[in-house]
Amino acid sequence: MSVRFLPDEAVADVLPGDTLLEAARRAGVPLASACGGEAACTTCRVIVTEGEGSLAAPPPEEAAVLATIGVDAAVRLGCRARVLGPVTVRRLVIYEDDEAATSRWRQAPAPMGRERMAGVLFADLRGFTAFSEALLPYDVLHVLNRFYALAEGAVGRHGGRIATYMGDGFMALFLAEEGAGDAALRAVRAGFDLVAAVDAWKPSLTTLHGRALGATVGVHVGPAVVGYLGHGDSRIVTAVGDTVNTAARIEHANRSLGTDMLVSEAVMRALAGRLKAAAQQPTALPGKSGVHVLYAVTGVAP
């Protein structure tokens, strides 16, 4: 019994019950698998061109993933499609122009990241665009680096790390060590430290540049995939997922609500009444359905 892989024109001998991904690895076929074969992505997807009945029916986890991308029945996930007879499939994720990426998928399945519970903090300098227009480029660079130094201190003191810089803002991660509450609490405390540090910086900014800046912070907690992003020397460790996207939108909501630091309902639940906070009016978050109640926090109860 065999599997024929296209466009490679490679044939792999298999035993009944082997998955397409297992067969591909043994045959040296670079079938992608960003999640390491956990049915948590779609990069190992194939389309069956001959012998569709030679694959076992999709298990629930495969069916759920395929339903999210709306494909027809001929498309399967290589990590879950088990071979029952001769079949021909075509890989749908191909790296023909990148030998380094292609060779990676010839090896044993290994995820590009791991799902972790994380507190995610986004922060930004309020009023920076107008502030920077009156400054020379080197002065802008100096101000930004001073802000990032304050940010590194605030984040580092609470066991977090800055994962991504974005102009006058950044994203920081606080990976859970003792559950969601631990990650959320450290992220919130880092947010308070950052706002306080920028407030203490204001007199110096005013003296040097005639105006000051403020910091806005958004915090959310939930699962995120933490892993490498980028290629070669430019690779960074960061996180992706809905938790990250939501945290970014929470931080941005400070502009419309006139607040300095907002957290999500998930953070409030994780900290079980430990935050001194005021619920804001229900707010629509760009790219998210419905409206969301966010909380302006002013302190942490003992």
- pLDDT 10s digits, 111-159: 778 889 999 999 999 999 999 988 889 999 999 999 999 999 999 999 9
pLDDT tens readout for residues 235-276: 888 999 999 999 999 999 999 999 999 999 999 999 998 999
pLDDT at 185: 96
Confidence of residue 190 (pLDDT cuts 50, 70, 90): very high
Pair of tokens at residue 63: 């069916």
Residue type, 290: G
pLDDT at 101: 62
Q: Of all helices (H) and strands (E), which one includes residue 121?
A: strand 113-126
Question: Distance between CA 295 and CA 297 in Å, rounded?
Answer: 6
CA dihedral (66, 67, 72, 76) in degrees, to 10, reads 20
Question: Distance between CA 109 and CA 162 in Å, rounded?
Answer: 29
pLDDT at 302: 76
* Cβ atoms of 89 and 52 closer than 8 Å: no
CB atoms within 10 A of CB 283: 16
CATH architecture of 2-104: Roll (3.10)
CATH architecture of 114-300: 2-Layer Sandwich (3.30)
Pair of tokens at residue 16: 């009944």
Share of the chain above pLDDT 90, in %: 68
| Average pLDDT rounded to a whole number, residues 2-26 | 90
Is this prediction's pTM over 0.75?
Answer: yes
Mean pLDDT of the chain: 91
Q: Which residues contact 245 (CB under 8 A, 6 or more apart)?
A: 287, 288
SS3 15: coil
Domain range list for the chain? 2-104, 114-300
